[in-house]
């Protein structure tokens, strides 16, 4: 057994490489991080406190999850109370009251007709759950051949095998071998230099590519199409006007389930409770995570149309039998449900949706003021989400965005970079002045970056 090292005094944070080595960090350049640690030791409102005692503005609401700002007392209290009352209840064959309350609270904000909630612990698990539901649904209906899944290039649906298979980011796929049977629609990112504000006016015809995939595979072999209404991770790709409507029409005509992955777009960021509501298109299955607990506890889930649920129930056999052989030890964890209920209380009480709508025009004007900033080749935005494409250094597409993000951190701003994009998605509670300060710092940082 490895003897644990002595804990440091609580007022000091150890940052030496030997100590940091034990944690293999996710989606992180471990060697760089451990040479130049960036530890966060506290958070309140729109600001983090770092281990070296600085305040850093949260330019991505955590990882798109903490729109209400950090350290919300109501959520922390609900978590503490629940942990002391019922820390865990077996998720299979037993239940606890909070999951039913949370399910009803979520359904109240979902598009009409989507009213049955299956809980997971993350967005990645929500993806795999939705894909399994889609296949099992068709099998239950006597169409067991409908197994193929259609995603989109540049799509991000988490990192489990289902998610990387329908996902369309080569970096997430190339090292991991055979995935799940999937094919991909083209992405809808406009060419560099478009600088569209909000929804691109052209590009709806890209949805017709689904007809080509149907011609290739035949609808009798296709279970579902999964897309993010607005693609977050791959660079904030806003759907063209009419695009999602067209996907919906084709899926309906060909008996293919349409899944919206709303892990980023759900619970306020689009200036609506869902991307479905914002863009006026209703899927058959809708995935959520992140903002549902304000990031304070891991929780995700899948909301389906009632007739999908009813199909499983009707085919379930004797009543003691399971209708869907799927679930996680921590599905609907009581402490996560408590956090979810408290977060939805706050989203409702503080009218987060309206707050986002009010901030959106100011936010849009601020981010597009970077149009002529050095290295910026495109800017896209919708709601409180924006992506700036950064021109690549020769042969090193991700290096400059990384340099920009690190320089921003030194200046007191957390900016998220992924691939060739800097994303900006401030908390709903951010002020216009804070948004302006972030944008000004980003402009200066870009100008000073080689
Ligand atoms: N679907 C979508 C649309 C997502 O954005 C997931 C699924 C996976 O969720 P989990 O909870 O398993 O991580 C996501 C997650 C970024 C960033 O910087 C985005 C995500 C996660 C981490 C970073 O854009 N999205
Ligand atoms: N691996 C083993 C050995 C298990 O026993 C379990 C759950 O019982 C799992 C994985 C799955 O864990 P979870 O339900 O947290 O996804």
Q: Concatenate the DSSP letters of all residues of 319-346 into one string.
A: TTS-SS----TTTT-HHHHHHHHHHHHH
Q: In what order do the strands lie in the sheet with 114-120?
A: 114-120, 300-305, 285-288, 257-261, 222-227, 148-152, 182-185
| pTM for the whole structure | 0.96
Domain ranges of the chain: 38-68+351-447, 75-349
* % of the chain beyond a pLDDT of 70: 98
pLDDT 10s digits, 365-386: 999 999 999 999 999 999 999 9
Average pLDDT over residues 236-260: 98
Q: How confident is the model at residue 158 (pLDDT cuts 50, 70, 90)?
A: very high
Average pLDDT over residues 250-275: 98
Whether the pLDDT of residue 298 is over 80: the answer is yes
The Cα 242–Cα 421 span in angstroms is 25
Average pLDDT over residues 106-121: 98
Secondary element (H or E) of residue 287? strand 285-288
Looking at 4-18, 173-187, 205-219, 424-438, which range is the least confident one? Answer: 4-18
pLDDT 10s digits, 227-245: 999 999 999 999 999 999 9
CA-only gyration radius of the chain, Å: 22
Q: So what's the pLDDT on residue 193? A: 97
Whether the pLDDT of residue 99 is over 50: the answer is yes
Q: So what's the pLDDT on residue 11? A: 61
Place of tokens 């289902």: 162
Q: So what's the pLDDT on residue 155? A: 98
Q: Is 383 in the pocket of ligand 1 (CB under 6 A)?
A: no
Q: Is 352 exposed, middle or buried (0-12, 13-18, 19+ CB in 10 A)?
A: buried
Q: So what's the pLDDT on residue 406? A: 97
The Cα 216–Cα 219 span in angstroms is 9
Q: Is 329 in the pocket of ligand 2 (CB under 6 A)?
A: yes
The string of DSSP letters for 51-68 reads TTS-EEEETTHHHHT-TT
Q: So what's the pLDDT on residue 9? A: 46
Q: Which atom in ligand 1 lies closest to the alpha carbon of residue 228?
A: 3
* % of the chain beyond a pLDDT of 90: 96
Average pLDDT over residues 149-156: 98
Whether the pLDDT of residue 405 is over 80: the answer is yes
Which of the listed CATH numbers 3.20.20.80, 3.40.640.10, 3.40.190.80, 3.20.20.70 matches domain 75-349?
A: 3.40.640.10
Taking CA atoms only, the protein residue closest to ligand 2 atom 8 is: 329
Q: What's the chain's average pLDDT?
A: 96
Distances (CA, A) of 112 to 134, 206, 271, 284, 325: 20, 27, 18, 11, 27
Q: Is 158 in the pocket of ligand 1 (CB under 6 A)?
A: yes
Average pLDDT over residues 152-175: 97
Average pLDDT over residues 387-393: 96
8 A C-beta contact, residue 312 and residue 325: no
Whether the pLDDT of residue 1 is over 60: the answer is no
Place of tokens 């479905």: 276
Task: Look up residue 430 and give its two tokens.
Answer: 């951010």
Q: Is 129 in the pocket of ligand 2 (CB under 6 A)?
A: no
Taking CA atoms only, the protein residue closest to ligand 1 atom 10 is: 123
Average pLDDT over residues 254-280: 98
Taking CA atoms only, the protein residue closest to ligand 1 atom 22 is: 63
The Cα 288–Cα 344 span in angstroms is 13
The Cα 257–Cα 116 span in angstroms is 16
Was domain 38-68+351-447 assigned CATH 3.90.1150.10? yes
The pick from 25, 289, 422 for probing ligand 1's pocket by mutation, whose C-beta has the most ligand atoms within 8 angstroms, reads 289
Whether the pLDDT of residue 331 is over 90: the answer is yes
Whether the pLDDT of residue 4 is over 70: the answer is no
Q: Which atom in ligand 1 lies closest to the alpha carbon of residue 163?
A: 7
Q: List, in order, residues 6 or more apart from 327 with CB less than 8 Å away.
A: 91, 92
Looking at 1-15, 144-158, 250-264, 277-291, which range is the least confident one? Answer: 1-15
Average pLDDT over residues 35-43: 97
Average pLDDT over residues 114-120: 99
Q: How confident is the model at residue 192 (pLDDT cuts 50, 70, 90)?
A: very high
Whether the pLDDT of residue 58 is over 80: the answer is yes
391 — phi, psi (to 5°)?
Answer: -60, 135
Q: So what's the pLDDT on residue 329? A: 98
Q: So what's the pLDDT on residue 362? A: 98
């Amino acid at each position: 057994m490895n003897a644990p090292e002595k804990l440091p005094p609580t007022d000091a944070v150890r940052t030496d490489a030997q100590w940091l080595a034990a944690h293999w960090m996710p989606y992180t350049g471990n060697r760089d991080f451990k040479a130049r640690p960036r530890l966060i030791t506290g958070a309140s409102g729109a600001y983090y406190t770092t281990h070296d005692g600085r305040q850093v503005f949260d330019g991505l609401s955590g990882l798109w999850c903490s729109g209400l700002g950090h350290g919300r007392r109501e959520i922390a209290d609900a978590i503490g109370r629940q942990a002391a009352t019922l820390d865990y209840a077996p998720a299979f064959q037993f239940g606890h009251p909070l999951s039913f309350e949370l399910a009803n609270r979520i359904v109240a904000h979902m598009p009409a007709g989507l009213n049955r909630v299956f809980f997971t612990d993350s967005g990645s698990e929500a993806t795999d759950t939705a894909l399994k539901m889609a296949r099992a649904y068709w099998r239950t209906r006597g169409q067991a051949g409908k197994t193929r899944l259609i995603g989109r290039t540049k799509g991000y649906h988490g990192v489990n095998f289902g998610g990387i298979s329908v996902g369309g980011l080569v970096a997430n796929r190339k090292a991991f071998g055979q995935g799940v049977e999937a094919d991909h629609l083209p992405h809808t990112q406009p060419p560099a230099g478009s600088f569209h504000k909000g929804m691109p006016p052209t590009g709806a015809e890209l949805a017709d590519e689904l007809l080509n995939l149907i011609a290739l595979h035949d609808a009798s072999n296709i279970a579902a199409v999964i897309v993010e209404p607005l693609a977050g991770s791959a660079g904030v790709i806003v759907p063209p006007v009419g695009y999602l409507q067209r996907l919906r029409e084709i899926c309906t005509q060909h008996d293919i389930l349409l899944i919206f992955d709303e892990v980023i777009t759900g619970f306020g960021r689009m200036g609506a409770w869902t991307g479905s509501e914002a863009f006026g298109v209703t899927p058959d299955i809708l995935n959520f995570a992140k903002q549902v607990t304000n990031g304070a506890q891991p929780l995700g889930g899948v909301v389906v149309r009632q007739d999908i649920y009813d199909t499983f129930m009707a085919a379930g056999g004797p009543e003691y039998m399971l209708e869907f052989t799927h679930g996680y030890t921590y599905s609907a964890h009581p402490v996560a449900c408590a956090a979810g209920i408290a977060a939805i209380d706050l989203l409702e009480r503080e009218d987060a949706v309206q707050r986002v709508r009010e901030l959106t025009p100011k936010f849009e004007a601020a981010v597009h003021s970077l149009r002529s900033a050095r290295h910026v080749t495109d800017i896209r935005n919708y709601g409180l989400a924006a992506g700036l494409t950064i021109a690549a250094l020769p042969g090193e597409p991700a290096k400059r965005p990384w340099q920009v993000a690190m320089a921003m951190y030194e200046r007191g701003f957390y900016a998220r970079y992924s691939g060739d994009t800097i994303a900006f998605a401030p908390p709903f509670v951010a002020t216009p002045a804070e948004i302006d300060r972030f944008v000004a710092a980003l402009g200066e940082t870009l100008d000073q970056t080689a």
